[in-house]
Every structure is written in structure tokens, then in C-alpha cells.
Amino acid sequence: MHDAENAAGAEGRFPRLGGAAALQRDAVGGKAAALSRLRMTGFRVPPGYVVTRAAYDDASGRGDWLRLLQDAALAAGPGPYAVRSSAAAEDLPGASYAGMYESYLNVEPAGLAAAVARCFQSAEAGRVRAYQESLGQAGSGAMAVLVQQMVEPTAAGVAFSANPLTGARDETVISAVPGLAEGLVSGSEGGEEWTVRNGSATCTRGGDLLTAEVATAVAAAAQRVAGHFGAPQDVEWALDRSGQVQLVQARPMTAVPEPVAWQRPGKGVWIRNFRLGEWLPEPVTPLFMDWLVPTLDSAYNRAVAHSTGVQVPMEHAAVNGWYYVAPPTPRALPHLLFGGSLRYIFNCVVRPMLDPRGADRAVLRSLEDEWRTECLPAYRRLAEGQPAGGDAAGLPDIIGQVEDVVGAAGAYLWYFSVTGGAAWKMEMALARFWRRHLAAAVASGVPAASGAEGYQVLLGGLLPSAPPQVPHAVYSLDWYHRTAGEEPAVSLAPADARRHAPSNAADRRRAAEAACRRTLRGTRRCAASTPSWPLPSTTRCCGRNRPATSRWAGRCCAGALRELEQSCSRPEPSAIRRTSTSLPGGSSEPTDHPGTLRCPGAG
């Protein structure tokens, strides 16, 4: 009888979640009002009650205050409990107040009074006042505290009922971490990510925590919440020990984009996978697009002007979260072609496919020298230097450091894209010769060199050992994605380790080279040599001595392929020699190739 009286008194003093009477936002705050409405409708919400400001002011000074809180908690269920703030101004479409107020988890019954008091006090915190001022609000309105039975989750996280980047209402984006989601909600953890569309779940990051079935159940709950409230929702959820999805918060998504409409942001042609877009494989965050992209683009343009003497500015914009760029229009072509950049365009874009060595000699080698002697040392000095202010750096210092690093990355990106892009185009000459003269014969003699590998077998295993993992390597330029050092370590099974071993790739390359020699034996003789430093007075090319100072010195390697391709009708004995490529500094690197394709960006 006494317990029933206590429960009845607690119900009257502390409104219960999901009770017969709907709780009003202006009395219990946005969080408690939303959860009570969901629990009343049949959603799985942990049971609990609300301590209003009026109840706190009226009874917190009483000697039985702690007992009153404990009786109300016991009516909700056994502890421990979660004690969280609930303000009338929070969880609105334009003001989430996320992370502004205090929350306390795993609170035992004896600690309820202290936790409730600290939640009320958090309404006066400086960060709350600063957030209110940024919104033009005089205060947060009514403040209450929510006490709920604690869920012991196997996993927890956040579900957006609409894609926060594209605005797609038929996509639910889920983030999940093991146990409690405090780190995920605060932003200190990234977590596993899933996208669910039309009942089909796809893991986009991680993959060892949730199953597709669980991700689909979380998405279904989030979509039902959005349907109930009539707007896209940001839902915090927890998966309990029985496998049920419990909802611990629901609020409208802030700044959700309108449904996707693919419209050009300006005149002319706009493309995505060009310039910076080649290194942004996914939608970009607003912070990256608004702050860092202009810094990257400006540094990139300065580096282009430093190398070519020509400014090539291009407009960029975000379309539904994706980076897009407008390449130069035909009106800009005279400026580009006759302003000094024609030589660079020809030697970086066209000539590597036809005459790799000539392109290297004309432009690419000088660009590599600029990178090696100017860009790379500056980048290393920046990376190795002590940040301004050290551990005590203020916000302006941190912003300056970020912009310095991004500026260096923009310059670095120019050299990487122009030389790396040319090196990729150089493979076209090798691929063309392989396809016309070697593919069928080599594939029949070396099965490992056929199929998916093709001519690329000749480029495998060139390093003596696998390169070490670089912790700062990135999947995307956007800050949101993890670096290589932040990704979970991947262990290869023994079979995979053998298949990926560099020595195995080197063995396949040597076998393919031997097959190439056998195939070419009996065709026109070609002994192509890469000139050393300094150049010899003559070089041997296509059976003749050519003066090194003539155009033949630069055409030797690429010319060797063309001479073989256009071989005369009178075959000559093959004499493809093993040559030694001289390197800067006097060292030598043996090579078994009839000519050397040099990657200007290789260190």
C-alpha cells in the first residue's frame, strides 16, 4: 500500500514518460516531450519521469527530496539511471542545443539528487549563453531534467532519417559504436556507418559491429519516427541485450538539404572528377567546401602560375554535397594557348602518350625538380616544425596552422597531379605496344601475365620490398575521412600474404620480360639506352649511333617502341641488351627493359 501511494505521489509530482496526459514542451522541454509522445504511441523508449523546474524549486530543499526521486525512479524500473537535461528551446529545427547541457549515465539511486542538481545548473554554463547569443535568443526557456532507466547496449548510435548531405528522404544514414554512444555524439569517434535505402542496407565504413538486419531495423524505426513527427529526424538509438532497438532521443534534423535537384550552379560545363574533384571521391562536408576548398584552390593556382606563368582560375561549387568545377571556356583558350602554357599543355597532356621521353625532357623533369627542390622541402619544414603556441595554442593559432597545411597541400597537389597524370598517360604507349605485338604470345607462355594484369605485369614488383604504411595517407582530401593511420589494422591471411608479396610480383614481371624477349627475338634490332648524367657523346638507338645532342637522345625510349612497331620487312637478329640506368649521385640501377619509362614524380 505504501509503495502504491509513493508511486501515485511520484506520478503527480514528476510526470511519467508516456503517461495518459501528453507532456508539453514549455513545461518539460523538447527532449522529454518528444520521448513521451513516442512512448505513448508505442515506440520502444526506456521508461522514466521528468523533474520540472517548478518541482525542483518547490521540493529540492526538503529533507526527503532524495527519497522522492528514488521512489519515482523505482516506479520506472530498477537502476542504474540516465539523468539528462531537457530544455524547451532545444531540439528545434533551427536550434538543436546538442551537447550544450549536461547528461549523466549509470547513476545509482543514491546519486540522483546530485545529478539532477548539476543538470539544472548546466543551463547557466558559458557555452549555453554563447550559443543562445549566436541564435539571438535571450534564454533557453523552461528547463527540466529527464530520469530514465539505463539501457545496457551492445551498440548505440545516431540515425538520420534523411541523407544529411544530399537530402534524400528515402535514405537513412546510420552511425554506430560499441556500447554507449557518448563519443559518437560528441564527435570524438567516427564509428561504423551504414546507408539504408528501400530496405537494403549497405555498410560504408567498418562492418564488424552491426548486421544488415540490425541496420535495417534501426532505419525502419528512424523512418517511423520521421513519419510520426512529419519531418526528417535525428534519432539517437541503443541496441539492448535482447536485440531490441530502443530510442533515447529524437529531434528534427537541422539544416537538412532540400530533396536533390541536379542543376548547374552557373553557366557553361560543370564536371565533378576534374582538378580537386579527382581527390574527392565522396560528397564533401560544408566546412571543407566553405573554408578549405578556397584555400586549396588558391594555393593550387599560385603553384600553376609559378610553373607556367599563366593563371588558370576555375569556378567551383557544391552541388548536392558534391564538389563540381567549371573548366576553362573556349573564350579562355587564346589566353591559355598563347599566354605561355601551350608548351606545358602539349608536354603534360598530349606528348606523354606519344613520346614519353620527349615530354620528360621538355617539361616534366623541370616540374619534378621544382617539386623536389622547392615544394617538398617547404612541405617537410612545415610538417616537422613546431606549431605556434604549442599545447597552449589558441583558436587563431590553430586556424592559421590549418590554413598553412592546406596551402602546402594545394601546391603539392599541382605537382602530384601534373607529373602523376603524365606518368599515367605514359602507360598508354606501353599498353599500345603490348596489345599489338606482345599480348597474345606472352599470355600463352606466361598465364600469370594474362587476363586482368595485362601489360601492367611489367610494372609490378619494381620495389625491393613493399612500402611501409604511411599514417598520414588519406582516402579523401576532405577532413571527415580517416587517415591510413586511423583506420583499423588489416591482417592478411597466409594465402593473401603470399599473393600480395612483392617478390611474387617481381617473379611474374621477370617471367613476362623473358617472354617478351622471346617474342621479340628475330624482329628488328633495338638496343635502347637511357642517357646517364652527363650525357655521352653518342647513344645507340635502332641499330645506329646517334649524337646525344640531337633530338634522337630524347626520343630513344619512345622511339624504340615506334621503331619496333613499324619494323621493316627484313628482320634482323634481336639484341636487347641488359642496360644500367645511371641515377643522380652516381649509383646505378639494373633494368631488363628495352627502354625506361621514367615517372617524374617518383622519389
Minimum mean pLDDT range among 313-322, 331-340, 544-553: 544-553
**Could you tell me which residue, 350 or 523, shows the higher pLDDT?**
350
Q: Give me the mean pLDDT over the 555-576 stretch.
A: 34
Residues 460 and 544 reside in one and the same domain: yes
**CA distance linking residue 155 with residue 429, whole number of Å:** 53
Residues 219 and 314 reside in one and the same domain: no
Q: Give the pLDDT of residue 441.
A: 73
Overall domain count for the chain: 4
How would DSSP label each residue in 120-177?
A: HHGGG-HHHHHHHHHHT-S----EEEEEEEPP--SEEEEEESS-TTT--TTEEEEEEE
- CATH, residue 127: 3.30.1490.20
Q: Give me the mean pLDDT over the 40-69 stretch.
A: 93
Nearest to 379 by CA among 412, 417, 349: 412
The answer to whether the Cα torsion of 359, 360, 362, 367 is positive or negative is positive
Copy the grid coordinates of residue 545: 649511333
Q: Give the pLDDT of residue 394.
A: 81
Examine residue 24 and state whether it is found in any structural domain, yes or no.
Answer: yes
Residues 50 and 130 reside in one and the same domain: yes
- Residue 157 predicted with pLDDT over 70: yes
Residues 198 and 112 reside in one and the same domain: no
Examine residue 373 and state whether it is found in any structural domain, yes or no.
Answer: yes
Q: Give me the mean pLDDT over the 526-532 stretch.
A: 37
Q: Give me the mean pLDDT over the 56-69 stretch.
A: 92
Spatial neighbors of 243 by CB under 8 A, at least 6 apart, are: 214
Examine residue 436 and state whether it is found in any structural domain, yes or no.
Answer: no
- Residue 448 predicted with pLDDT over 60: no
How would DSSP label each residue in 215-280?
A: HHHHHHHHHHHHHHHTS-EEEEEEE-TTSPEEEEEEEEPSSPPPSP----SSSS--BSSSGGGGG-
The sheet with strand 233-239 has its strands ordered as: 200-205, 192-197, 171-178, 155-160, 233-239, 245-252
Q: Give me the mean pLDDT over the 421-450 stretch.
A: 77
- Residues 228-237 pLDDT 10s: 999 999 999 9
- Residues 281-314 pLDDT 10s: 888 999 999 999 999 999 999 998 888 888 778 8
Q: Give the pLDDT of residue 530.
A: 34
**CA distance linking residue 263 with residue 498, whole number of Å:** 49
Q: Give the pLDDT of residue 206.
A: 86
| SS3 state of residue 77 | coil
Structure confidence at residue 531 as a pLDDT band (50, 70, 90): very low
Residues 375 and 474 reside in one and the same domain: no
Structure confidence at residue 18 as a pLDDT band (50, 70, 90): very high
- CATH, residue 170: 3.30.470.20
| SS3 state of residue 424 | helix
The percent of the chain in helix, strand and coil, each rounded to the nearest 5, is 45, 15, 35
Q: How many CB atoms lie within 10 A of CB 435?
A: 12
The answer to whether the Cα torsion of 188, 189, 194, 196 is positive or negative is negative
| SS3 state of residue 97 | coil
- Residue 248 predicted with pLDDT over 60: yes
Q: Give me the mean pLDDT over the 534-555 stretch.
A: 34
Residues 115 and 57 reside in one and the same domain: yes
Nearest to 417 by CA among 241, 601, 576: 601
Structure confidence at residue 175 as a pLDDT band (50, 70, 90): very high
Q: How many CB atoms lie within 10 A of CB 369?
A: 11
Q: What is the largest CA-CA distance in the chain?
A: 113
| SS3 state of residue 588 | strand
Q: Give me the mean pLDDT over the 510-525 stretch.
A: 80
- Residues 111-153 pLDDT 10s: 999 999 998 888 777 666 766 666 666 555 578 999 999 999 9
**CA distance linking residue 27 with residue 168, whole number of Å:** 34
Residues 469 and 527 reside in one and the same domain: yes
Average pLDDT value over all residues in the chain: 77
**Could you tell me which residue, 526 or 313, shows the higher pLDDT?**
313
Residues 144 and 164 reside in one and the same domain: no
Structure confidence at residue 21 as a pLDDT band (50, 70, 90): confident
Examine residue 475 and state whether it is found in any structural domain, yes or no.
Answer: yes
Residue range(s) defining the domain that contains residue 113: 2-149
Q: Give the pLDDT of residue 194.
A: 96
Examine residue 441 and state whether it is found in any structural domain, yes or no.
Answer: no
**CA distance linking residue 356 with residue 595, whole number of Å:** 11
Write down which residue in 131, 149, 167 finishes a domain: 149
- Residues 324-340 pLDDT 10s: 999 887 776 676 666 66
Residues 53 and 13 reside in one and the same domain: yes
